[in-house]
Structure 1
Amino acid sequence: MFIQPRVSTSVRCAAVSAAALLFLISRAHGAAEGYLSGTITATTGTHLEGVTVSAQIDGEPITTSVYSGPDGRYFFPAMKTASYRVWVQVAGYERSEATLALGPQAKHLDFKLKADTDPENLIVQLSGYQVLAALPEDSVAHRRGKAIFQKSCLYCHEASTALRGRFDEHGWEVIISAMLNGFSKNPPPPTALQRELASYLAEMRGPGKSPMSLKPFRVSGEATLPVVYEYDVRYPEGGYTAHNGSDWRYGSGSSAGGGGGLHDAVLDFDGNIWFTSTVNGKIRTIGKIDTKTGETFDFALPLGNGTIARSHGMYLASDGVVYFNAGPQGRGAPTSNSILGRVDPRTGQLESFRPTGQMLVSGWLGGDARGYIWTAGGYRTPPTGALRFDPRTKTFMDFFSGPTSSTTYGITGDPEGDAWWCGVQDDVIEHFDSRANKVVEIPLPAQPLTEYLKPGDMTEHIPQPGVGGKQSPRRPRADLNGSDVWVPNWFGNTVVRIDARSSKLTYYPMPYPGMSPYEASVDSRHRLWVSLQGSDEVARLDPDTGKWTFYSWASRGTAQRQNNVLDRNGVLQVVLTSSANHRVGRMVMRTADDIQALRARAN
């Protein structure tokens, strides 16, 4: 079954209780608080909806952002009284900035924005899929070039990063070679597809006039309600990244010179953010951000050989304990040959557990409704499958994949104590059926290579980088209060809904090519939330209506992989990790009633 996408930005949110809202405010602010609001208009006098308004205290690593509503009004929650730098940004307009001394009285700060029609300024303001949408599909050559670019160049970063610069054909050949061969002094000659790609990119982003049709994207309706907190993560050696994506004039953030290293994050029950670290080091296996102060804390798990572990995947269990994989130091991400680590956020105590069976832990974790922790096992090294950890007995049990799957990726448990994991290379879902006590394989039916290629456009194989089959199922999540299992297909640009009882598959395509859904989460209302590596947004799907709503982060180049949602005490929060921007964040969902209360205070 294939569900056509519908996009909505005006679906009503769940109500947030007054007590829960006070909890949120107390997490980010001190005793002395003030309120900031204002109106955003164009120089023509038009009220602008969906403008990102950000505020930061000089010298502090916390940025708070809100969005203007249909009347151009924006409303910050209570913030600490201090001197702030405030800036506003929206695609298609020039950035504006001001300083403000926020005291205990409500403050009002308006901005008038000047339109900017320069496409070179617009392209850096957009998210990846929005740039990809500007590439024409009016000829066989253009559709082929777009498909080769999408499948070959967007494995690690967004299209907005890859197409930020302009180069002639030779320049693009050099870049393609460097991306493929790691700056080798003697790279192999380009293939026919690589030469075709270089020629295409020189037409799209070369010295001549481009046929790209860039257009601004803005959030609207319900997507303007959240407040976003982003936290710059201190490097283990000290200091912060110089380019964190917060100034859209410079486009996507970059880890160049500082290293990335962040991958997963969760929000604990006290409101602090825990994150993994994939880089080799001496003091950080995992880290924690105190969301009151923005301070970074490091936690090291010794491996017993004079080194500490590094980490990749992270999962918040139902009892509030944080689990992660703890792998050895080395090259590449620590996604295999790991043990299981855990930390109690209340005490900061770390523990580790080594499996005794045939598989070690891989870099993906999940849980079921019966209290078990599930991890991927083996990754690319046979045997592959899943491990189930019992926190009560501190023991593991192995479950091996079927004959089709060669690589285990994401994993989730479900309400019945079953587990579901992804054969990412082979487009197959593995299901441990606890009632039958066996593993069943569910192959994904073949899908078109892209949404826009026509029959006969592409007859040859496009080599894909990294890990993944044609659809590349990544990080699933089950509804622990329902019967659905949700699987994002990264290369396939779809999400699959599996009925856990019948194994029926329903496909939900993403509304735009190249959004690259990565990890699923489910809230208390059975709605799907999914991270988008090809975007600076998180998507929400209402399964009953098939409508998508897209909520924007305040930085550019987030390229989010991990996706964790904490839906607790009437408050729904989404967690961000951005390796390139070296930031973590949380998006707190507000309601129209919350905004109305702030409006009354401002008036």
Structure 2
Amino acid sequence: MRKKVWCFSIRSLLAAAIALSGFLVLPNSAAAQASKSANLSGLASVSGMVESAKPFQAAKVYFRNAEKRMLYMVYTNGGRYQAMHLFPGNYELNVQAKGLESDVQKLVLKAGQTATANVSLREASAAEQRRDVEVLSFDGIYPPGPGLVVARKTCIYCHGANFLPSKHWDEKQWNSGIDYMTGKDNRQGAMIQPNEMSQSEREVLVQYLVKNFGPSSKTRAVKVETEMPVDETKVGKAMYVEYYFPTDPPGSGINDPKYAGITDEGPFAGRRVSQDVHFDQQGNVWIIDRGFPNRLSKLDPRTGQFKEYLTPDPTAGVHDLTIDKNGIVWVPENEGVPAGQLKLDGFNPKTEKWEARYPFDPENVIPAGTVKHAQSLTIDSKGNIYTVLILGSGLSRWDRETKKMTTYPMPSPNAFPYGIVVDKNDNIWIAEFHASKIAKFDPKTEKFTEYSPPTQPALIRRLNVDSK
């Protein structure tokens, strides 16, 4: 039977993804599996009714514990809710539904307590609903015409429909932005390829952007025409738990003066940025912190306690991690220190030390002068580790037996390889973000095969392989 490889374009990801920034979100079912042996008698539960003069469905009930730096959220089902297995402590309780909000209640939970807390909803204020942003239909924001055709295939399909109306740029600013996206002064390379936009199309695009998203334009957002269907009977059984990173004290972590000069890393400078969550065999959760300094964090969801470890080069940049069958946590450096000398780092949780470091592309297969940036990785059945070079357009393989790193150029130039998975036959499947293709690498022949999906451009970021 032919294997099926599931692909997710950026458009579907934007609709479904949960963004993590400074905190970790876990479904309670996963946390519960990690704590089957925990003594639940020391925890508390809360249930109650949520009332409103206006009808609502699947309201979100929040319990915020500032001392533990945690937040629990459950949905209502028929106006009722139940939150299980909360740590004892002081909580702030509030409820939100579409256009509705409750006042914040103080709540103290004790170990073993089964508490009741009923809540009333009122109409949310303008500030709570962000009415400073004008919400319109797509057609109300984007007038039809040749400019929209170009904008769809160069801007909207990647940034989403709400990016352009958030800008208020003049012609010079829009031209500068387009220059950057076509590769000028962009160390990541061209995001808009030469064959994707002609000079005449660019001129049409600039005129369209200035006319509709110029300095005098209002901040607008596209109205959600069709609400995502919600089955209260199902979501009412779920719980989401957020674990917030510890705050760095003065002079430490993001407040350390040695990292104060890092200001050109956009959203990663001066803050904690969590990414890539993995469970180990003991039920602990390992997370990458992309802020500076770069850190590897371990969370015990049974206690809510974090333990953190600086990476060997805390300014090298990090993105993903994976854990092998021996429990070693593997983290690829994005660009290395100095830039271009990136490495694959291995952390041993038993010794709490970084015990392995292997340079990517030691034979300089990727042409000299090319920016290299390692990102996603996967492990095959033999323990070999495959990492994509999203910048540099390569695939690196670390051989567990020989400890040798081998690099292969991707078949398409500037492919921007992003997601990577392995199938049951140890074939490696790669999402080529810019090339809008899926690549298969056969380790036996060391050859690539590319597949183009029917919808173009596809912008495939992540992919997965089913059991067949």
Q: Which residue type is aligned with residue 390 of structure 1?
A: D
Cross-structure match for 1:110: 118
Q: Does 1:135 align with 2:138?
A: yes
Please name the residue that 1:53 is paired with: 61
Matches of 2:451 and 2:280, distance apart in 1: 35
Report the CA distance shift for 1:433/1:54 in structure 2 as closer, same or farther (over 3 A).
same
Counterpart for residue 399 of structure 2: 390
Question: Equivalent residue of 2:155, what SS?
Answer: helix
State the one-letter code of the partner of 2:435.
Answer: D
Distance in 1, Cα, partners of 2:335 & 2:403:
21
Note the C-alpha offset of 1:398.
Answer: 3.6
SS of the residue corresponding to residue 208 of structure 2 reads: helix
Q: Distance in 2 between matches of 1:19 and 1:174?
A: 50
Find the residue that maps to 2:461 and give its secondary structure.
coil
Tell me the percent identity: 18
Q: What's the CA shift for 1:99?
A: 1.2
Please give the per-residue CA displacement for 1:413-462, whole angstroms capped at 9, x wherever unaligned: 22112112233322232222245x142322314525xxxxxxxxxxxxxx
| 2:299 paired residue number | 289
Matched, 1:353 2:365: no
For residue 344 of structure 2, the aligned residue among 340, 346, 368 is 340
- 1:35 Cα deviation after fit: 0.8
Amino acid at match of 1:226: A
Equivalent in 206, 225, 237 of residue 225 of structure 1 = 237
| Separation in 2, partners of 1:175, 1:232 | 37
For residues 305 and 214 of structure 2, the distance between their equivalents in structure 1, rounded to whole angstroms, comes to: 45
After the TM superposition, which residues 71-470 of structure 1 pair with which residues of structure 2 at under 5 Å, given as runs? 71-103=78-110, 104-116=112-124, 121=129, 134-136=137-139, 141=144, 145=148, 148=151, 151-152=154-155, 192-201=204-213, 206=218, 219-221=230-232, 222-234=234-246, 258-259=270-271, 261-281=273-293, 284-303=294-313, 309-328=316-335, 337-355=341-359, 356-359=362-365, 362-377=374-389, 379-381=390-392, 384-402=393-411, 406-434=415-443, 437-445=445-453, 447=455, 470=457
CA gap of 1:406–1:217, structure 2 versus 1, over 3 A, is closer
Given that 1:94 and 1:115 are in contact with CA atoms closer than 8 Å, whether structure 2 keeps it comes out as yes
Distance between the aligned counterparts of 2:176 and 2:301, measured in 1? 39
- After superposition, the C-alpha distances for 1:105-134 in whole angstroms (9 at most, x for unaligned) are 3111122223459698267999xxxx79x4
Distance 1:348 1:146 in 2: 54
List alignment gaps of at least 5 residues for structure 2: 13-26, 181-201, 255-265, 366-371
> Residues 427 and 308 (structure 1 numbering): CA distance in 2 closer, same or farther, change over 3 Å?
closer
Q: SS of 1:63's equivalent? A: strand
Q: Tell me, yes or no, if the aligned pair for 1:286 and 1:311 is still in contact at 8 Å.
A: no
**How far 1:325 sits from its partner (Å)?**
0.4
CA distance in 1, matches of 2:316, 2:363: 21
Alpha-carbon spacing, 1:422–1:34, altered in 2? closer, same or farther (3 Å): closer
Question: Are the aligned partners of 1:42 and 1:115 in contact in 2 as well (CA < 8 Å)?
Answer: no
SS in 2 for 1:475: strand
| Residue number among 442, 455, 460 corresponding to 1:473 in the alignment | 460
In the superposition, the TM-score normalised over structure 2's length comes to: 0.68
Task: Write out per-residue CA displacement over residues 485-538 of structure 1, whole angstroms, 9 at most, x where no aligned residue.
Answer: xxxxxxxxxxxxxxxxxxxxxxxxxxxxxxxxxxxxxxxxxxxxxxxxxxxxxx
For residues 423 and 221 of structure 2, the distance between their equivalents in structure 1, rounded to whole angstroms, comes to: 49
Q: Rg larger in 1 or in 2?
A: 2
Partner of 1:64: 72
CA RMSD of superposed structures (Å): 4.8
| Alpha-carbon distance in 1 for matches of 2:439, 2:33 | 43
CA distance in structure 2 between the aligned counterparts of 1:294 and 1:172, rounded to whole angstroms: 48
Letter in 1 for 2:333: A
| Counterpart Cα distance in 1 of 2:435 and 2:279 | 33
Runs (5+) with no aligned partner, structure 1: 7-15, 183-189, 242-253, 449-469, 484-603
Change (3 A) 1:293 1:346: same
Deviations 1:175-223 (A, max 9, x none): 86896799xxxxxxx965244234334799728x999576765743434
Report the count of equivalent residues: 404
Q: CA deviation at 1:142?
A: 7.8
Query: Could you tell me how far 1:257 is from its partner in structure 2?
Result: 8.2
With 74-83 and 340-349 compared, the bigger mean Cα shift is at 340-349
Superposed CA deviations along residues 158-190 of structure 1, whole A, max 9, x for unmatched, are 766876x7x8xx6687986896799xxxxxxx9
